[in-house]
Amino acid sequence: MTSLRPTGLSRAAVFGSVVRRSGPHLLEASLIPTALFYACLVMAGLGTAYAAALLWLYASVAVRLVRHLPIPPLLVLGVIGITVRTTVAVASGSSFFYFAQPVANSLVMTGVFLLSIVVGRPMIEKLALEFWPLTPELLAVPSVSRLLRGLTYLWAGVNLAIGLTTLTLLVSLPLAAYVAMKQIASLVITGGGIAITIDRSLRVACREGYVDEPDMSPRFEGLGAIATVVD
C-alpha cells in the first residue's frame, strides 16, 4: 500500500487546509450574495435585494462558463437554492417563504444524515470518499467505522442546530437584523462542527497509529482527510 507523507499535519494545519479549499467558494456562493442582499435590503428594499443576490450568483456562473472553468458544487447549490427561494417568494407575495426555506433545508439534511446511519451507509463516509480515496481496509477498521457514524450524528446535529437557530431568529428579529445574525450564527455553528470533526478525526488517527505525535506526520494517507468532508 502506498502512502503520501505530507509533514506538519495538525489540527491547525487541517483547519487551515479546509479554509483554503472552501473559503473562496463560500465567499463567492454565500457570503458575498448575503452581504449584497443585506446592503440592498437596507438601502433600496426587498425587491432590489432579491435581484442583487440573484445577479451575483448568475454572473459568477456565467463568468466560469465563458472562461471554461469548473463550477464549484457550492455555487451550483447556491444558484439552485436562491432561484427556488426567490421564485416561491415572488409567486406567493410573501417574503417569509424566502427566509423560511433554509430552515426546511436544514431539517431535511438532518433527516438525511440520520437515515444514512439507519441504512448502514453513514453520510460522512460518502462525503469523505469524494475528497480522499479511503481504502476498504481503512473503512473496515472498527474505530474508523465508529468515527464515521459519530461524525454523521454530529453533522445531523449541526444541521438541526442551524435550522432551529434560523427559525428562532426569523420569528424574533426584524428582517434586516435577521439577515445579519443568521449568517453569523450559521458560520459559528458550522465552524464548531468543523473543529470537532478535525479534532475527533486526528484523535482516532493518532490512537490507531496512522499519524505520529507530537508533529503528527502521517503514516497513512486516508484518515486525516476525513476532516475535510465539509468543504
Domain that residue 107 falls in? 11-228
The verdict on residue 3 lying in a domain is: no
Q: What crossing angle do the helices spanning 175-207 and 32-43 adopt, rounded to 10°?
A: 170
The verdict on residue 6 lying in a domain is: no
Q: Each residue of 159-209: pLDDT tens digit? A: 999 999 999 999 999 888 888 898 899 989 988 998 898 888 888 877 777
Residue 13 has what pLDDT? Answer: 63
Residue 203 has what pLDDT? Answer: 83
The verdict on residue 4 lying in a domain is: no
The verdict on residue 95 lying in a domain is: yes
Residue 18 has what pLDDT? Answer: 60
Sequence-separated contacts (24+) of 43-51 with Cβ below 8 Å: 46/95, 46/175, 50/86, 50/89, 50/90, 50/98
The verdict on residue 1 lying in a domain is: no
SS3 content of the chain, % helix, strand, coil (to 5): 80, 0, 20
The verdict on residue 108 lying in a domain is: yes
The total number of structural domains in the chain stands at: 1
- Tell me how far the alpha carbon of residue 160 is from its chain's centroid: 13
Residue with cell 439507519: 118
| Cα–Cα distance, 186 to 220 (Å, whole number) | 33
Residue 1 has what pLDDT? Answer: 40
The verdict on residue 5 lying in a domain is: no
Residue ranges of the chain whose pLDDT lies below 50: 1-8, 214-231
The verdict on residue 145 lying in a domain is: yes
